[in-house]
Amino acid sequence: MSTRANTSARTTTYTAILAQQKMEQLRSLTWSFDPLGLPTTDTTTDTTVAPERDTGGTGLSPSPANALGQNTDGYVDYLDAFGRSLGGGVALIEGTVYIRRWSIEPLPSNPANTVVLQVLVTRRRNRGAADAAADVTRLSDEARLVSVKTRKAP
């Protein structure tokens, strides 16, 4: 029983680290005002690969509905047992151990200047009804982080 608890704790800690890495990557993307006071948003960085690419991705573009509940192109990447990126896309990639999904949603009270970022890291497995819920459920050895990013005036 102790071995099982330690294994679960290790997995939970590792998924939390992987979620934090993605959150930091998303938070580092441009979401600000230019010198003229016009909003500027990174909508092209490909964050599904490591190292990230300046073009070919979704950046901080709003994600489709249920991006946390299904593998959505531009909002998912696959990692091996050591946390190395295998790339993104809808189909699972050979060697995937962890699936990292994220969503980017404008805050309803200030959609032009604030986004809610969510990252969910799961192990590769059947999550059953956890993905079907309106608010995707986090299982015991998974990690889910939520953060808010707001534009700051120059």
- State the pLDDT confidence band at 130, using cuts at 50, 70 and 90: confident
DSSP classification of residue 60: T
pLDDT single digits (tens) 37-75? 999 999 999 999 999 999 999 999 999 999 999 999 999
Question: Tokens 């901080």 sit at which residue?
Answer: 60
Query: What pTM did the predictor assign?
Result: 0.91
3-state secondary structure of 114: strand
pLDDT above 70: residue 154: no
The most distant pair of C-alpha atoms in the chain lies apart, rounded to whole Å, by 61
Give residue limits of the domains in the chain. 2-150
